[in-house]
A and B are shown apart, each in its own frame.
Chain A
Amino acid sequence: MQLGKKWQWPLMAVALAGLALVAMACGDDDDDGGDATPAATSEGTAATGGGDTITIKAGEAIKIGISTTLTTDNAELGIPIRDAALLAIKEYGDIEGFTIEADPQDDQCSGPGSESAAEKLISDGVVAVVGPMCSGGAVAALDNYGAQNVLVISASTTNGSVVQQGATNFARTAWNDDTQGAEMAKYVFNTLSLTKVLTVNDQSTYGKGLMDVFKAAFTELGGTVSSEQAVTVGEQDFSAVVTTITGDDPEIVVFGGFIAEGAALVRQLKDAGYSGAFMGADGIADQDFIDQAGGAAEGAYVSRGPQPESSSYEDFLAKYQAEYGADAGTQFTEHSYDAMTIVLNAIKQVAKVDADGNLTINRADLIAAAKGTTLENGASGTVQFLEDGDRDISAGAVNRIDQVTDGVLTQVR
């Protein structure tokens, strides 16, 4: 069909626009944020049956999914989460004669990534999932898991909104950022005696959420948040924010976000001559942050979750060291270990072997068993869940604060 001259240019324009849109959509690799566009959920076409009961045939393995970040800049935080969960599986042995098999998937600490990981795990026929790693990812993927009633226990999603979704199949062994933000505010105001703060967030569910909580708590204590700045995940040039900060000259910059942005920000701040203090949270609580900042991180404060007080924590650290030859240093390893342990205990509790030697697990029973668990002496302390799946943190638990001293994270509280 020969198009008349009249149509060729408009058509070309439309085609170009369409291509540009596709290119832009494909190009946005570091996509984070609670952008809940759920992928088409598989309606019960999963391998060994989604929905009410999952059956594992005799001779097959019980599959447990692990949704964590294995690539992208947050892999430093994500890989140990997977390793700790694997350690828990290794130590557990088998259930009713069925071996346990891990199915780790990369969720890239993003909404779309967590959804793809969820779909993959569901179609792989997993009994339960430890993960996702990031709050933004959980907000997006819980719909997918919920549709198939898969038990999901996350070790590291800390944002308050994650448990406000009404997802009955979800629980977390991580703490809630509502507490962390408040604790950070108290530390800055009371202990450091600083009253003028500037916050920077990375516009992710986790980062923005944490900074919002911080601001509310800090202003209530009587301090001032002179400005709230934002950066984008994946961005490299922070000169705009740095200029604003040096112009504003706060006493401390408080940052809600992850290692890559935190390190670049701190480095560019130092280069620009900023001399105030810097504080970040669990998203940057890793040696990688210090390494990437190339010396600019010296003296920075890092807030972490409450320090576990159980003897099991020490045991866990020793076991991890023995297995992997590395420090279980990053934040959520003990939480991941406990999450997996709770999952396995719950499976053991509700799984039944039927007449043919197959293992049947009722999903609803499994969720109830897991959420009703009290794990005494877990690696991260005593674990109990609230009605909405949030972890029951003992009152008065104070979060740990580290400071970068001589290039290493050292506990100061």
Chain B
Amino acid sequence: MEQWIQLTIDGITLGGVYAVIALGYTLVYGVLRMINFAHGELFMMGAFGGFYTLDAFENHTNMNDSLPSLTIAVAIFAGMATSVVLAVIMERLAYRPLRHAPRLAPLISAIGVSILLRNFMLRWTNARRQVFPQVFPRGSIEIGDINVTYIRIFLVALSVLFMLLLYIFIQRTKTGTAMRAVAEDRDTAALMGIDVDRTIVLTFVSGAALAGAAGVCYAMYTTNAAAGMGFLPGIKAFTAAVLGGIGSVPGAMFGGYFLGLSESYSTKLIGAQYKDVVAFVLLVLVLIFRPWGFFGKREDRRA
């Protein structure tokens, strides 16, 4: 029994990470009707932003020991900043020129950006993992046989916090409303006086900020950052977003947790080495049987 609880905790931890990344996919799809395949790389670059920050703190100061909460907070912000900057550049150079091109073109462009970023980092790090200094306090809470490390609690809490913040941002602020308007009908939104270009950039920014923060936290949790670390979580988060209904924010959150829990339980049921298979099988099933996801609307093909 304890093992199932442990697996549930694992699932929620991972699910939170997937959900946060999935939000980026879903937001961008909402406003641009395109899947930003390079989103996983934003996650990875955020992690590296955080790594180099913590590494700098480690080598030049002893603040990692004396003020870990500060250095971690700075690292997370650095990660977010890295992702945001990259996202803005990406949008400007790789997606905006293709806004009126056939729908396949920005997709291919996204894949190109993804490959470019990943291989750049591979070369930069000589394909070696960068191991994080141990800043986050080691240790765990033990309830009977169940063991929850502090970093896991931190990850869960942070994911929930960010999701909450995003939700409030989208529902309650003017920019958020603009984002929803552009997602619904771009031309009418423009006629209403919304600056569509700026809104799209801000959408990218929000998604990227979340991915960057998730990247830093995930890398601290797995203790290292590697150039290829964004690939698999990127695809899985995409699966999560599609599962929940691409374009739907609650859908992305639901999809993330659903996928995280499915993966976690599957390690017990079919073995840990098949963990990654679950995401892909789910993706295929969803695309075949219910492509609009759990929370999405059936989108009829337009001419």
Contact = CB atoms under 8 A, between A and B. Distances in A.
Given A23-B37, A73-B128, A75-B126, A240 B275 contact: yes
A173 B271 CA distance: 37
A243 B224 CA distance: 20
Contacts of A203: 273
B226 A231 contact: no
Nearest to B136: A271
B223 A294 contact: yes
Contacts of A246: 6, 145, 147
Contacts of B129: 73, 236, 260, 292
B115 interface: yes
Contacts of A292: 129, 131, 223-224
A66 B64 CA distance: 42
Contacts of A72: 126-128
For the residues of B in contact with A, the DSSP-based class is helix
B151 interface: yes
B299 interface: no
A108 B128 CA distance: 11
Interface string A236-268: 110111011011000000000000100110011
Contacts of B173: none
Given A72-B127, A231-B272, A16 B107 contact: yes
B104 interface: yes
Contact of A272 (B122, B127, B149): B149
B7 interface: yes
Interface stretch (A24-32, A35-43, A323-331, A390-398): A24-32
Interface in B7-63: 7, 10, 13-14, 37
Interface string A68-111: 00011101000000000000000000000000000000001000
A408 to B, nearest CB: 18
B147 A273 contact: yes
Contact of B140 (A12, A234, A273): A273
Nearest to A229: B272
Interface stretch (B174-182, B227-235, B240-248): B227-235
A273 B133 CA distance: 19
Interface size for chain A: under 10, 10 to 19, 20 to 34, or 35 or more residues?
A: 35 or more
Contacts of B108: 19
Interface string B127-150: 111010110001110100101010
B127 A294 contact: no
Contacts, number: 114
A244 B272 contact: yes
Nearest to B275: A240
B222 A236 contact: yes
Given A71-B126, A73-B129, A273-B142, A230 B272 contact: yes
A172 to B, nearest CB: 25
Contacts of B104: 12, 15-16
Interface in A163-182: none
Contacts of B222: 236-237, 264, 268
A141 B267 CA distance: 34
B201 interface: no
B3 A247 contact: yes
A264 B147 contact: no
Interface string A265-309: 001101111000000000000000001101100000000000000
Given A19-B111, A203-B273, A246-B147, A234 B142 contact: no
B303 interface: yes
B10 A236 contact: no
A246 B147 CA distance: 9
A294 B14 contact: no
B236 to A, nearest CB: 11
Contacts of B107: 16, 19
A295 B131 contact: no
A254 B3 CA distance: 22
Interface in A100-145: 108
B273 A232 contact: yes
Secondary structure at the A interface, as helix, strand, loop or mixed, is helix
The residue among A27, A232, A273, A295 with the most chain B CB atoms within 10 A of its own CB is: A27
A9 interface: yes
Interface string A1-35: 00001000100100110010001101101100000
A292 B133 CA distance: 9
Contacts of B6: 243, 246-247
Nearest to A244: B272
Contact of B226 (A15, A26, A234): A234
B197 to A, nearest CB: 27
A140 B122 CA distance: 23
A230 B273 contact: yes
A203 B275 CA distance: 14
Contacts of A73: 127-129
B100 interface: no
B264 interface: yes
A72 B231 CA distance: 17
Contact of A29 (B127, B140, B273): B127
Contact of B272 (A12, A16, A241, A263): A241
B272 A27 contact: no
Given A72-B128, A268-B223, A30 B272 contact: no
Contacts of A294: 131, 133-134, 223
B138 A29 contact: no
Nearest to B230: A27
Contact of B149 (A236, A247, A271): A271
Interface string A196-212: 00000001000000000
A-B pairs, 3 with minimum CB distance: A236-B222, A240-B267, A240-B272
19 contacts: A15-B104, A23-B37, A23-B115, A24-B235, A71-B128, A75-B126, A229-B272, A230-B272, A232-B276, A237-B222, A240-B10, A246-B6, A247-B2, A263-B223, A264-B223, A271-B140, A273-B147, A292-B129, A294-B131
